[in-house]
Amino acid sequence: MKINTELSNTVSPQDFHRKKQLTLFAAYYRPEMKLFALDMSCAFFVALIELSYPMITRYILSEFLPDKQYAKFFVFIVIMLLGFLMRAGLQFVVTYWGHIMGANIEMRMRYDLFTHIQTLSYRFFNSNRTGQLMSRILPELFEITELAHHGPEDLFISFLTLIGAAIALFFISPKLAILVLLLMPFLIVFTMWLRKRMGRASRRVKESTAVINTELESCLSGIRISTAFANEASQANKFQTSSAQYRQARAGFYKIMATFFSGMEFMIGGLGVVAIGYGGYLIMRNEMDVVDLIAFTLYIGIFTTPIRKLTTFTELYQAGMSGFQRFVELMKEVPDIVDDADAIAVSSFDGDIEFMNVSFSYNDEENAENVLENLNLHIRQGRTTAIVGPSGSGKTTLCHLIPRFYDVRSGVISIDGIDVKRYELASLRKNIGIVQQDVFLFAGNIRENIRFGRLSAQDDDVEAAAKQADLHDFIMTLPEGYDTIVGERGVRLSGGQKQRISIARVILKDPSILILDEATSALDNETEKRIQSAIARLSVGRTCVVIAHRLTTIRGADCIVYLDEKGIREQGDHESLMAASGYYYHLYASMLEHRTS
Ligand code: ADP
Ligand code: MG
């Protein structure tokens, strides 16, 4: 089957605010209508064949058997065999293509969700851990698939067979049919009740699985530390405790499961026995014949499958719908940073940045304290501005406001005299390069990771960037060079090597504005020196905002800004700030002390 990788949304995020849940669910069926029709019509014929089998049996047993009409009898037997062969084929179509349809629906939802999540801002990801998003969404969407496929089909087949079989029962023997139909509600209520308890127990198992998984992960990733502290015994104890809890939850589940299956088999078996008992009584009173009783019990057998299916359906529906609800919730999440209708697209900036009365808080609440309060700052075009100050004073925050990772609470940030909110987000961010302390590498090879800076870059450009970032020689020492796989499943790179990859990315990106947020603070002196010269080459002719701890970086800046919790305390070049012997002077003195000690 060809894999569909077309890039378009099935349902737009706006629709999630306008339409009802069931309408939205139905909308995902629309592109799969052909498969849906195929699935349902095959399911229909499956039910039909199943229903006709006892009737045909009854017919040939009563018509051909007494007269010993061998030929006709066996012709019908062969016809029935062929009928079952056809049913097998139809069943295959239903199971295979039905699930494919469900998987297609799931894929469409996944795509809509991913593209929607991409539009959400940093604020969203601060309160939603990506790992959790992954581990929640994928299994939940899978439950939706199961519902999407089994839901309509199971309901349809079940009702069809139940009604068909009930009619047939009445046709064969009304008295016996009434008896069976009177017993039926007990069976249904009992199985549904147990199913519900089973569902609850299985949720408990799932919950404790999540707990033990975190526990296990923390124990495993902490093994080095626990051995270093010789705390293995207590760790093993802790592990065993949650492991035992998990077993306990499972034991509860198995008990209910055992009750369910044995109880259900008893009810079904009992129903058959009662039918034969009452049927035999009717036969002895000459109110029914043996052949009818045979057909009757065959229908009772058919009865039980839809009942089994319907009892699982409630659970399927609950799981699928709660998954869908969570999906809808995420789709309803409104991106708080979007383009204006008349947003300005720019190809490059001169790079003159101005903060005017900027206040900002991570917290949306009215009276939340601001991280930045009435901040005014001019970052001159083409110059290097260093921001220094104690940790937690808001340096990173300040930098994140420029590419609009967050929007200011009040005040204006402008680039080249125009409010950043007026620019098209994509073009704004294309022209700002950020190098941060922790570098994220995608699963893939080095070349792809560098090319992330500019996806259209040729291999030559990638290599040129790597050379500028002082990375090329190192890459050539790797057996597979630029094709070396990095990250989780590949080569482990040191902090400095990763850092140079991120610098190479920014070199490819070639932005007008460059932000370096403690890009080198985690590195040793030797590596830092090498990166420093790469950065120096990179910053020529660009507006550069540097947050750094190194004296050399700071001292060389055109302007130094001292920021603490109270805001900007001082700004100026190194000489003038030293002469003022204020905050910067003391900071510098303490840094000098550190260096010599
Ligand atoms: P710096 O980079 O100067 O060390 P930050 O800008 O990272 O400081 O942080 C400034 C303040 O904002 C700190 O009090 C920090 O706790 C808070 N802060 C930083 N990031 C977030 C966030 N994502 N959500 C909430 N508060 C944050
Ligand atoms: Mg910071």
pLDDT tens-digit readout, 413-429 = 999 999 999 999 999 99
Are 388 and 561 within 8 A, CB to CB?
yes
Per mean pLDDT, which of 202-211, 218-227, 386-395 is the most reliable? 386-395
Residue 597: predicted pLDDT: 45
pLDDT tens profile 25-44: 999 999 999 999 999 999 99
Residue 4 has pLDDT above 80, yes or no: no
Q: Which helix (H) or strand (E) holds 517?
A: strand 513-517
Q: 522 C-alpha vs ligand 2 centroid, how far in Å? A: 12
Confidence bin at 489 (pLDDT 50/70/90):
low
Q: Is residue 378's pLDDT more than 80?
A: yes
**Distance, CA of 277 to CA of 153 (rounded, Å):** 35
Pocket test of ligand 1: the residue of 126, 128, 362 to mutate, having most ligand atoms within 8 Å of its CB, is 362
Of all helices (H) and strands (E), which one includes residue 452? none
| Ramachandran sector of residue 349 (left: φ over 0; alpha: ψ -120 to 50; beta: rest) | beta
Whether 400 is in the pocket of ligand 1, judged by its Cβ within 6 Å, is no
Looking at per-residue confidence, does 373 or 488 come out higher?
Answer: 373
H helix or E strand, kind and range, residue 514: strand 513-517
- Residue range 368-394: average pLDDT? 93
The predicted model gives 45-70 an average pLDDT of 90
Residue 409 has pLDDT above 70, yes or no: yes
**What's the confidence (pLDDT) of residue 2?**
55
Residue-wise pLDDT for 220-269, tens only, equals 778 888 888 888 888 888 888 878 888 887 888 888 888 888 888 888 88
Query: What is the predicted pLDDT for the residue at 220?
Result: 78
Please give the residue that has the higher pLDDT: either 595 or 53: 53
Ligand 1 centre to CA of 419 (Å) is 24
pLDDT at 184 over 50: yes
Average pLDDT for residues 48-53, to the nearest whole number? 91
**For the CA of 563, the nearest atom of ligand 1:** 3
Residue bearing the CA closest to ligand 1, atom 7: 396
First-to-final CA distance of the chain: 68
Cβ count within 10 A of residue 96: 11
pLDDT score for 96: 92
Binning pLDDT at 50, 70 and 90, where does residue 595 land? low
The bound ligand whose nearest atom lies closest to the alpha carbon of 390 is: 1
Q: Is 394 in the pocket of ligand 1 (CB under 6 A)?
A: yes
How far from the centroid of its chain's Cα atoms is residue 370's Cα? 33
The predicted model gives 77-87 an average pLDDT of: 94
Q: Average the pLDDT over each of 140-149, 199-208, 326-335, 339-348 and give the range with the smallest value.
A: 199-208
Q: Which of 213-217, 359-363, 497-501 has the highest mean pLDDT?
A: 359-363
User: Which among 196, 209, 157 has a CA at the least distance from the CA of 318?
Assistant: 196
What local confidence, expressed as pLDDT, does residue 509 receive?
93
Per-residue confidence (pLDDT) for residue 156, from 0 to 100:
86
Query: pLDDT value at position 190?
Result: 82
Judge contact between 146 and 324, C-beta under 8 A: no
What average pLDDT does this structure show over 274-302?
Answer: 90
Comparing 554 with 377, which gets the higher pLDDT?
Answer: 377
| Average pLDDT over all residues of the chain | 87
What would you report as the CA-atom Rg of the chain, rounded to the nearest whole angstrom? 35
Does the beta carbon of 454 sit less than 6 angstroms from any atom of ligand 1?
no
**Which of 384, 396, 390 lies closest to 591 in space, CA to CA?**
390
| Residue 458 confidence class, pLDDT cut points 50, 70, 90 | very high
Top pLDDT among 432 and 306 is at 432
Rounded to the nearest 5°, which phi and psi values hold at 488? Answer: -40, -50
How far apart CA 355 and CA 379 sit, in angstroms, is 8
Count CB-CB contacts under 10 A for residue 230.
Answer: 8
Tell me if 395 CB under 6 Å of ligand 1. Answer: yes
Report whether pLDDT(559) > 60.
yes
Mean pLDDT, rounded, for 449-473:
92
What does the pLDDT average to over 107-136?
82
Q: Looking at residue 100, what is its pLDDT?
A: 92
Distance CA 379, CA 543 (A): 8
Distance 334 CA to ligand 2 centre (A): 27
Q: Is the CB of 393 under 6 A from ligand 1?
A: yes
Q: What percent of the chain has pLDDT over 70?
A: 97
Q: How confident is the model at residue 131 (pLDDT cuts 50, 70, 90)?
A: low
Q: What is the pLDDT of residue 5?
A: 62
Residue-level pLDDT at 3: 56
Give me the mean pLDDT over the 143-160 stretch: 85
At residue 34, the pLDDT reads 93
Residue 392 Cβ contacting ligand 1 at under 6 Å:
yes
Domains of the chain as residue ranges with CATH: 15-331 (1.20.1560.10)
Neighbours of ion ligand 2 (CB under 5 A): 396
Q: Ligand 1 pocket, 318 CB below 6 A?
A: no
Q: Does ligand 1 have an atom closer than 6 angstroms to the CB of 562?
A: no
